[in-house]
Amino acid sequence: MATTALTGFSMMSLLSLGYLTWDLMSPNQVENEPDQTFVDTSPVPQPPHIIFIMTDDQGFNDIGYHSSDIRTPALDKLAADGVKLENYYIQPICTPSRSQLITGRYQIHTGLQHSIIRPRQPNCLPFDQVTLPQRLQELGYATHMVGKWHLGFYKKECLPTRRGFDTYFGSLTGSVNYYTYDSCDGPGRCGFDLHEGESVAWGQGGKYSTHLYTQRVRKILATHDPQSQPLFIFLSFQAVHTPLQSPREYIYPYRGLENVARRKYAAMVSAVDEAVRNITYALRKYSYYQNSVIIFSTDNGGQPLSGGSNWPLRGRKGTYWEGGVRGLGFIHSPLLRKKRRVSKALVHITDWYPTLVGLAGGNASLTEGVDGYDVWEAISEGKESPRLEILHNIDPLYNHARSGSLEKGYGIWNTAVQASIRAGDWKLLTGDPGYGDWTPPQMLSGFPGSWWNLERHTEPRKSIWLFNISGDPYERFDLSEQRPDVVKELLARLVYYNRTAVPVRYPSEDLRADPHLNGGAWVPWVGDEEEDSWDTVYRKKNKDWKKKLKLSNSRSFFRRLNTRIMSNRI
């Protein structure tokens, strides 16, 4: 389990960041001391069945209980009868969230701190990482994965069935057609991407992926004996990622939404809601429910350009504003001690690894070295979370902010580097955090998508921001100039974490991955006997910056013109 290194912090600075509280317990007081003469002869209960459901790109405002225009009665009911996680954090894009769930490690400790794993990159989840399903297998679980992998597949050793899952059914890349299962990585580089285990599932296309994956989960539940072996299912929906596709019957209830993208997106969320209802029904029907834990989580913030909404949070998918990293999440289980409540306990996606290993009966030695914490008591019993801070990320390869410098970071940290950290109530961002406007639910169907990029720049370019997230969850009041003391403390924490970082794994694309060279499908293309070399930190080439700057100036002119035109229209 992770331990928080607080070297160099004074007692008062820890208190100011919200790390410490005064312990009023007497040093001689013993809490819940067991009776040494009592011998418990009751049978040891079987570990719970764990169903982890992840959606793709579902925004903070894209669920019914957040007063959205999207109706999700099944999800709302499960959340209302369980525990809603309203201080829950994920990563801003797909691969990092999945890697942190599977390994319990921050990206800086797996080399995946930059971008996503692209289909033609010879890259995948590092082989030295013991995955969550592997730990659960050691503890006697049957493990199954259904849906989107997106953790690399250039070698067979990268595949889900080699990383701890007994069975796998789904897509290996980041985005596929919901019916044909074609996936494209640029013009002309398309291939089939639906897999059964380690083979291409050629004959199973044609059915809507949300329905197909739900059908597979129900089949697993129907054929497994819940009394003989605990079960772990990771259902990683492709929905609601683009392309915006759904059966027509789900679109009809949203015919009143003027924005076409929002209408299609809402239909896809409704299909997921129905899928979760059917899976919950199967858990009851096949006698899993009473000893089950259902976890629902999105992988990153929503994309307003594709119908998603994170309102009233700032930012969107791909950014380190709250709209990109604060996630939808809840737990539903008969095993919860305190149900029907909202939890404000600080929880991060890495915490699921030690939490689920603990629920499965594993001891602390099985989670040694991970960055997550066991948060079961915080969620189930309402106790304080053991987590005190979150490193959102440090990405040394992301475009450096031109306004950033070591000087602006008080000589502690180069603020040109993209990084973000949450400690207690405080959140610090440096570099370029990404698009940072507040985007309300889109209501105008004819509104050009490019105009959403007209961010309101009312202040000079910055490279450092500080927010009190507990008091200002929408990140409207930057306190970096008023509280330089907190800024310096958090910059020092970034330095501490950066010293523990491993080199970035971001290799160049491999032409051998082209589906046309591999039977028309996305499959492993490198032999397991070929050695990898990760000694190099791969950096993006940026030779055309003068050309891009000239083009940017032209675009700025037209954007200013469009802004005036749009103001007149409104």
**Catalytic center residues:** 94, 150
Task: Give the DSSP H or E segment for 269.
Answer: helix 260-285
Rounded Cα gap, residues 139 and 47, in angstroms: 9
Q: Using an 8 Å Cβ cutoff, are 192 and 199 in contact?
A: no
Task: Give the DSSP H or E segment for 196.
Answer: strand 195-196
Determine the distance from the C-alpha atom of residue 59 to the mean position of all C-alpha atoms in its chain, rounded to a whole number.
11
Q: What is the DSSP letter of 126?
A: -
Q: Using an 8 Å Cβ cutoff, are 409 and 491 in contact?
A: yes
Nearest to 217 by CA among 47, 48, 53: 53
* 3-class state of residue 132 by DSSP: helix
Within 8 A by CB and 6+ apart from 504, the residues are 111, 113, 114, 396, 397, 537, 538
Rounded Cα gap, residues 332 and 324, in angstroms: 24
Q: Using an 8 Å Cβ cutoff, are 321 and 92 in contact?
A: no
Q: What is the DSSP letter of 406?
A: T
* 3-class state of residue 232 by DSSP: strand
Task: Give the DSSP H or E segment for 168.
Answer: strand 167-171
Task: Show the 3-state SS of 423-443.
Answer: ECCEEEEECCCCCCCCCCCCC
Q: Is the bond preceding residue 240 a cis peptide, omega within 30 degrees?
A: yes
Distances (CA, A) of 484 to 245, 279, 394, 410, 480: 48, 50, 21, 9, 6
Owner of token pair 């894209």? 62
Six-digit token string for 363: 């001891």
Rounded Cα gap, residues 372 and 348, in angstroms: 7
Distances (CA, A) of 191 to 148, 177, 202, 519, 522: 15, 11, 11, 9, 6
Give the helix ranges, DSSP H, for 72-205: 73-80, 94-103, 132-138
Distances (CA, A) of 562 to 436, 484, 559: 20, 38, 5
Task: Give the DSSP H or E segment for 13.
Answer: helix 11-16
Within 8 A by CB and 6+ apart from 475, the residues are 313, 314, 315, 321, 322, 427, 436, 465, 467, 469
Within 8 A by CB and 6+ apart from 203, the residues are none
